[in-house]
Chains A and B, each alone.
Chain A
Amino acid sequence: MADKVLMKGNEAIAEAAIIAGCRHYFGYPITPQTEIAAYMAKRMPKIGGCFLQAESEIAAINMVYGVASTGLRVMTSSSSPGISLKGEGLSYLAGADLPSLVINVQRGGPGLGGIQPSQSDYFQATKAGGHGDFRMLVLAPSSVQEMADLTVKGFELADKYRMTSMILADGTMGQMMEPVSLEYDIKPMPEKPWATTGTKMEREHNIVNSLFLQPDALEKSNLERFDRYKYIEENEVMYEEYMMDDAEICIAAFGIAARVAKNAIVEARNKGIKVGMIRPITLWPFPTKAFEAAAEKAHTFISVELSMGQMLEDVKLATKCKGEYMLCSRVGGMIPSPEEVLAAIEKANGGAK
């Protein structure tokens, strides 16, 4: 069995990225993810990599765009307000079909918000990372181990599909410490014949670009990208089911909310309530089929989230609004307690007994 080390979630992301072959990191300080930058600043110079503190989030994501154009693995990390600034770059990365890894250790919003954990960038990550029709692979870790695992996975998926993978974590995930195993079998990167590394006078010039002034050409590039997205929706969905076999009440939760919900589910099961949970690990592609199947047995869906029902909308869509729906949420940096989740479960079960 692999040796485990005790690490903060943010540090686990940084080390996993290095293991995955990432040698370029660009970032701008923002709480609660600065440990990633600090870790990279220490490690990169020792391994021939490049840590560079950018003058802004905008510059950082465009440095990512530059490295991604050369085909190398590259990442940036930030927290909610900083991700908004990166939105422009995320759109350009999508338009130019460049792979990259972007970490969002979310904090409360809107505006400057707060520095405590949140999941209120769900819409932004899954539906509106920037202007234009595009998607990002959105991965939601629920443990420090997953912070590391999904970082490696994120790079692999980004390269495979030539798009941005986003780790949608939260302040709790970033700050908490847990034992982690960092043994990975890193596959070689796919060939990147499109990369701008110089023609060496041996081939036609490569162009990394998102501009198509002819509308039919732009439409074609969008449609091709969405064919790829459809394939991803059919092949890359990840989720965990917890006590769903006989569940009449289905909780939807990811990240830290899923961990709180698990405690509440154990309590509720002790009281004889048939409740389970679907924990999306990919928020896009969303585990639509899992929820659709759950709707065969479950009468009520409870979305436990650190936002005002952002994921609840996707649960309703997946289950075609056939059930009853409840939102159990705290926002602004607050986290629902297991008791609050249990109360919601009991209410769904026909009121407290």
Chain B
Amino acid sequence: MVVFEKPHALTDVPLHYCPGCTHGIVHRLVAEVIDELGIEGKTIGIAPVGCSVMAYNYFNCDMIEAAHGRAPAVATGVKRANPENIVFTYQGDGDLASIGMAETVHSAARNENITIIFINNAIYGMTGGQMAPTSLPGQITQTSPYGRDTNHCGFPIKVCEMLAQVDGAQYLERVAVNNVKNVKNAKKAIKKAFQNQVEGKGFSLVEVISTCPTNWGLTPKKALEWVDEKMIPYYPLGVYKDNTAEKEAE
């Protein structure tokens, strides 16, 4: 009896992520959702620049590697070319909330019928742990070695809260993957974000609070605890906007 299988939407390529990094969990959730919705053959994924740059090797659907921050613009092109395709981007905090902020906000404003999976781990992982747009006040990183000083370099950006003000955005939810209950909720949110697109309901973004044990300087277990202790209080989980429910009621 098979009790555990790899989703078909994931390739056999071993993931390159560090031990304890939650990218692997989120990749799996996205792949499970693609399997469950039966959309692998028409899905196009857009990988970012950052730790998940090589996501194009891990998903079995067609994949495109975008320039740093530009994934929502690339997704716009793909979706406008072939609206029958299911198009998702997978982006980190530096990619989506710093260099790609304009692309993020305007793809939401246009209500592009795409799905964005946004990994917020409050740090630049790939380049070795620099301060991210979502690094917490006081957080020590390579480029905020004395702790993020908000008087000097400003405040973290709360993406879901901000996009909730954009009329075009249809579904925004923040989830975490640091325990079983949260992983289950994350799966539900990711599934809804893809389902919305299948049903033509428009711009959906799921922010996943993730870990970076390597650059946080914590063990994998401590990193999961740090999510509860530090990240979630600053970035509360929940649904920030859901116009898709209204559409169902109409």
Contacts and interface: CB of A to CB of B under 8 A. Distances in A.
B149 interface: no
Contacts of A266: none
A316 B77 CA distance: 42
A197 B82 CA distance: 8
Describe B's contact surface by its main secondary structure.
helix
Contacts of B44: 69, 196-198
Nearest to A93: B67
Interface stretch (B54-62, B90-98, B238-246): B54-62
A209 B57 CA distance: 10
Given A198-B41, A198-B62, A199-B61, A52 B80 contact: yes
Interface in B57-102: 57, 59-67, 70, 73-82, 85, 102
Contacts of B62: 196-199, 205-207
Contacts of B59: 205
Contact of A62 (B11, B57, B73): B73
A196 B103 contact: no
B95 to A, nearest CB: 13
A353 interface: no
Contact of A63 (B65, B80, B85): B80
Nearest to B57: A207
A298 B54 CA distance: 56
Contacts of A199: 40-41, 60-62
A208 B75 contact: no
A106 to B, nearest CB: 24
Given A52-B80, A55-B106, A197-B85, A62 B70 contact: yes
Interface string A70-99: 101010000000000000110010001000
Interface in A196-217: 196-202, 205-211
Interface in A179-234: 196-202, 205-211
Interface residues of B, number: 37
B103 A59 contact: yes
Interface in B85-131: 85, 102-103, 105-106, 110
Interface in B15-44: 40-44
Contacts of A209: 56, 63-65
A50 interface: yes
Contacts of B110: 52
Contacts of A56: 102
Interface string A296-332: 0000000000000000000000000000000000000
A26 interface: yes
Contacts of A205: 11, 59-63
Contact of B77 (A63, A200, A201, A207): A63
Nearest to B68: A88
B53 interface: yes
Nearest to B64: A208
B38 to A, nearest CB: 9
A89 B40 CA distance: 28
B41 A207 contact: no
A283 B163 CA distance: 45
A50 B81 CA distance: 8
B104 to A, nearest CB: 10
Contacts of A55: 102-103, 105-106
Given A197-B85, A205-B59, A59 B41 contact: no
B64 A66 contact: yes
A72 B81 CA distance: 7
Contacts of B75: 66
Interface string B175-195: 000000000000000000000
A62 B67 contact: yes
A65 interface: yes
A96 B62 CA distance: 14
B103 A62 contact: yes
Contacts of B42: 198, 200
A26 B77 contact: yes
A211 B70 CA distance: 15
B106 A74 contact: no
A12 interface: no
A140 interface: no
A196 B60 contact: no
Contacts of B60: 199, 205
B63 A208 contact: yes
Contact of A92 (B54, B67, B81): B67
A64 interface: yes
Q: Which of A60, A72, A196, A207 has the most CB of B within 10 A?
A: A196
11 contacts: A52-B76, A58-B73, A59-B103, A65-B70, A65-B73, A70-B82, A198-B41, A198-B43, A198-B61, A205-B63, A206-B63
Given A65-B64, A199-B41, 6 more contacts: A24-B77, A24-B80, A55-B106, A58-B73, A62-B73, A209-B56
Interface of B: 11, 40-44, 46, 53-54, 56-57, 59-67, 70, 73-82, 85, 102-103, 105-106, 110
The 4 closest A-B pairs by CB, nearest first: A66-B77, A62-B73, A196-B62, A55-B106
